[in-house]
Amino acid sequence: MDRPKKNRSPHQRVRFLQPPELDALIDAAPDDTLGSVERVLYLAAALTGLRQGELLGLKWLDIDFHASRVRVADNFTRGKMDTPKSHEGRSVPMAARLGRELAALRERTHFKQDDDLVFCHPETGHVLDPSKMRKRFKDALVQAEARTITFHELRHTFGTQMAAAGAPLRAIQEWMGHADAKTTEIYRHYAPDPTHGAALVERAFGGGHEPRTIASDQYAREPHA
């Protein structure tokens, strides 16, 4: 007996923001005390690929401005700090743009000691409320007129853009903390084609002319068996 075919999930398509949408999202963050933190949070999520809990668990001692690295050592999940999902620490590269924004955030926050949280509530220093954060993120997406994604899918923004930039999948796997390389494979089709297949197809078929050729016109006029 043949096994029933599994229905393809409509959510298997990778959802992410293009760089202009990310910029619009950052600009759409509310101009209030939380918004000043959220703007940097959204940028950090997209430019590092960290999970929500890993971002909420970041401390200033994890930001290495000299080495341009962000170290992942904690993960805020189920209301408490824990180890990252992979149960191993890691570090990810920190782009100059993110480094500047983090330095500016540390300059203006009241909570700037090494053990203070990077993305904390600006008035209390406590961990941001994840549910409230997700709601405000959704509202900012609407305001930015960007495509609908979840906060977690900012990780896909990082994965797809890094693959498109030519980063090796093995490096992306390490940066994103994927225990299984198969998880990282979803970004493979966003990477440059190492076979230069498009050029090969062009060479094989040429640049193309009119959709209908003389041969096809003749074929259309001839009687067929």
Write out the catalytic residue numbers.
51, 85, 152, 155, 178, 187
- Give the phi and the psi of residue 18 in degrees, each rounded to 5: -75, 155
For residues 186 and 155, what is the distance between their CA atoms, to the nearest angstrom? 12
For residues 45 and 25, what is the distance between their CA atoms, to the nearest angstrom? 12
Q: What is the DSSP letter of 115?
A: T
For residues 49 and 153, what is the distance between their CA atoms, to the nearest angstrom? 9
CA angle 26-28-32, nearest 5°? 95
Residues recorded for the chain: 225
